[in-house]
Amino acid sequence: MSKKIIIANWKSNPASLKEAVLLAQKTDRAVSKYRSIEVIIAPPFPFLAATKEVLKKTKLGAQNVFWSGGPYTGEVSPTQLKNLGVGYVIVGHSERKIYLGETDELINKKVRAILEIGMSAVLCVGERERIGSEIPAVVGEQLKKALKGVNKKFAKRLLVAYEPVWAISTQPHARPDTPDSAFRAKLYIKRVLAGLYGRSVSEAIRVIYGGSVNSKNISGFLREGKMEGALVGGASLNVQEFAALTRAVR
């Protein structure tokens, strides 16, 4: 069985390099004793290099990437991230779709670029609304569009984060999903992946949950929800809370 993976998505926090390095150091130290978990820290771009220097047990992730290097003002290339030691890149996050208008087509280009260069893509999918208990078909559509043309041999490096948008802590009236419906989402995602790549690849791709995860609800998502890890936003900015969360995973 592969290790559970916990990804700290710091979003656009903290405000300074000094705070970022301190947070990375403390987080790394706090989670270092848990061998059975893989912890990834994804700071904002300006803090990647300095964060990398202080990580001993945890790995480095990025929150975004462009699909190429070259004349693209303001963008960061896959090669630049790879050369910095980034192993994981979050892609398709709902905040980028909502505030920056990221499209399925752009997400697809990014996913391909990340996987082809040898990094892992943490592909976020999730519905904006859910009526009733059924997992909306839009989740499967997002997945298929993001993975269009992605070769089976690269797909193994993929991780899928099921993040219902309404469950993300910064959304108005946010509430975490239930372990039971996260489990249904996982089965649905695995089924779509099996349709694209066959059962063994689908089983190898880890499906994790994101949306208001904290130290109290994480074990429900892993145990009853059978999730293979979590993408953690708000709770990753508080070292004590994040340490308690990883303790609960172990």
List interacting residues with ligand PGA (CB under 6 A). 9, 163, 168-169, 210-213, 231-235
Question: How many CB atoms lie under 10 A from the CB of residue 99?
Answer: 9
Q: How far apart are CA 93 and CA 72, in angstroms?
A: 21
Q: Which residues contact 201 (CB under 8 A, 6 or more apart)?
A: 152, 155, 156, 193, 194
Please, what is the minimum distance in Å from the beta carbon of residue 80 to ligand PGA? 23
Nearer Cβ to ligand PGA, position 9 or 108? 9
Helix (H) or strand (E) holding 209: strand 206-210
Residue 173 tokens read as 């009236």
Nearest approach in angstroms of CB 64 to ligand PGA is 12
Least distance CB 233 / ligand PGA (angstroms): 2
Give the residue with the Cβ less far from ligand PGA, 97 or 109: 97
Cis check for the bond before 14: say yes or no (omega within 30 of 0). yes
Which residue among the candidates 38, 95, 102, 163 is catalytic per the annotation?
A: 163
Q: For the chain, give me the number of helices (H) and strands (E)?
A: 11, 8
Q: Which is nearer to ligand PGA, 177 or 197 (CB)?
A: 177
Structure tokens of 23? 């947070």
The one catalytic residue among 38, 93, 95, 228: 93
Give the C-alpha separation, 58 to 248, whole Å: 17
Residue with Cβ nearer ligand PGA (202 or 214): 214
Phi-psi bin for 212: left (phi > 0), alpha (psi -120 to 50), beta?
A: left
Instruction: Kindly state the smallest distance separating residue 97's Cβ from ligand PGA, in Å.
Output: 12
Q: Three-state DSSP class for 47?
A: helix
163 among known catalytic residues:
yes
Instruction: Quote the least distance from Cβ 46 to ligand PGA, whole Å.
Output: 19
Pairing outcome for strands 59-62 and 4-9: unpaired
Whether 93 is catalytic: yes
State both tokens at 143: 């997945």
**Separation CA 117–CA 7 (nearest Å):** 21
**Closer CB to ligand PGA, residue 107 or residue 197?**
107
Residues belonging to the active site? 93, 163
